[in-house]
Amino acid sequence: MSRHHITLLGRHMGLVGFGNAISKLLMFVANIWIANHLLEQGYGIVSVAFAIVNYLSLVAFSGVDTITTRLAAEADENRLRQLTVHLYALRLVMCILLIAVTMIAGICVPGKLGMVLLLYSLSFVPQIFYTVHLFYGAEWSWPVTLYFIGGRVVYVGLLLVGVSTPGDIYVVPLAFGAAILVENAFLLGLWLRRMGTGLYSIRAGISFTLWKAAVPVTFSNAALLLHENAAIVLLYIFAGSSAAGMYNASYRLVYIAISLATLASYVFLARISRVLKESKTQALHVFRIACLIAVVLGVCGSVAGFLLARPVVELLYVPAFLPSAGLLVLAVWQMAAAPVRVMSFQMLNACHRQTAALPLIVAGSIVSVILISGGIWLRGMNGAVLGTVAGEALLAGLLFTMANYYAKAEGRGLQC
């Protein structure tokens, strides 16, 4: 039976992973284009604005998305319809709040950064009908693959047409919003077609009890995202937009790998939730195999990145970004630990241990930010990278230990 679950997990991860890999490759192409045409100062501004908006989005929705995946995996068809309506109602309220917060930030922040933030706020409108995690939970994989590829093709196409000089900085957030609109409209149409007219017969509303479990997950993700994004924001504050742009140029390859692991972890969450529902004794075995595969892939990616860092930067970027090659040689080692961290976090969510995990995650993330801050103070951009890698290793070790403990407890039927 465990082999059956591993096979299904591999199949869905393979399909979703393929789409995500193409998506991240296209996003990397987009970032190369933006960096080479806006140059380090403009690219730094766009990178910081996107980091802020992305952080707000992920903090607001990551908990809801995680619980949506788990609930959808456990639900029958009728319950899935109810979940869909509740989800849309909740996201409507949250998107309105995010638009308001981002616009206020854009008004308060002076110069081009403020204007870019204002334009990025428009990208929250189509996110009202974001349904990816319903697809994850239902293990309906091929639409998600097309979703990731199609939206990024639109984004790259708009950038190729609209961005050619540093003065085109405002095209970037508008292109991003247009791409999100296209990809979410595609998934919305497919999901409504599957749910049928029964979806409209259910009274809309927000069930706060339903989303109660999302609260600790949201705070945990906020802490983890602070760990991931602290370096670029702190560098912008203490060293300026050029340093932030240089750091981000090196971090994009690493970010691709971490994003792939994060998105694949939702496939793992859907499958492991079903495993726990059917036979809790198998969960630990499936979890350990998934982590072993994650470690192997992460280390291979780190070694490959270490060997190819300098030629890749020289090939892809204009000469102004050559110093980022030295940063990338260090940053790639984050890929060795990040996959285990995200898999372990989802295992804790599947075991309904999101509240127990919160203090550990917050403490680990605070230590990570301290390491990053100290690294910047001692060694500048190199120190920021080293602090991030050290923080990643710490969080991965803590979360794996905790997830392994609770997975054992589930298998023995213990109350922890």
Work out the mean pLDDT of the chain and round it to a whole number: 83
The answer to whether residues 388 and 357 touch, using CB atoms and an 8 Å cutoff, is: no
Query: Is-above-0.85 flag for pTM?
Result: no
Least confident of 16-20, 229-233, 309-313: 16-20
Q: Measured between alpha carbons, how far is 250 from 271 in angstroms, rounded to an integer?
A: 34
What is the pLDDT, as a whole number, of residue 171? 93
Closest by Cα among 395, 283, 377, 387 to 337: 395
> CB under 8 Å to 363, separation ≥6 — which residues?
none
The burial of 365, by beta-carbon neighbours within 10 Å (0-12 exposed, 13-18 middle, 19 or more buried), is given as buried
Q: In the predicted model, is pLDDT for residue 335 greater than 60?
A: yes
Rounded distance between C-alpha atoms, residue 213 and residue 273, angstroms? 15
Q: Which bin fits 206, alpha (ψ -120 to 50), beta or left (φ > 0)? A: beta
Rounded distance, CA 70 to CA 335, Å? 26
- For residues 64-77, average pLDDT: 82
Rounded CA-CA distance 104/114 in Å is 9
Structure tokens at 316: 């892809």
Residue 1: predicted pLDDT: 46
From residue 111, alpha-carbon distances to 45, 103, 238, 240 in Å are 10, 14, 18, 14
The pLDDT score that the predictor gives to residue 156 is 93
- Write the pLDDT tens digit of every residue in 149-184: 888 999 999 999 998 888 899 999 999 999 999 999
Closest CA to 350 of 272, 243, 245: 272
pLDDT in tens, 119-157: 999 999 999 888 888 888 777 778 888 888 888 999 999
What pLDDT digit, counting tens, does each position of 359-410 carry?
Answer: 999 999 999 999 999 998 888 888 988 999 999 999 999 999 999 888 777 6
Give me 124's structure tokens: 């929250």
Give the residue among 126, 123, 121, 125 at the shortest CA–CA distance from 103: 121
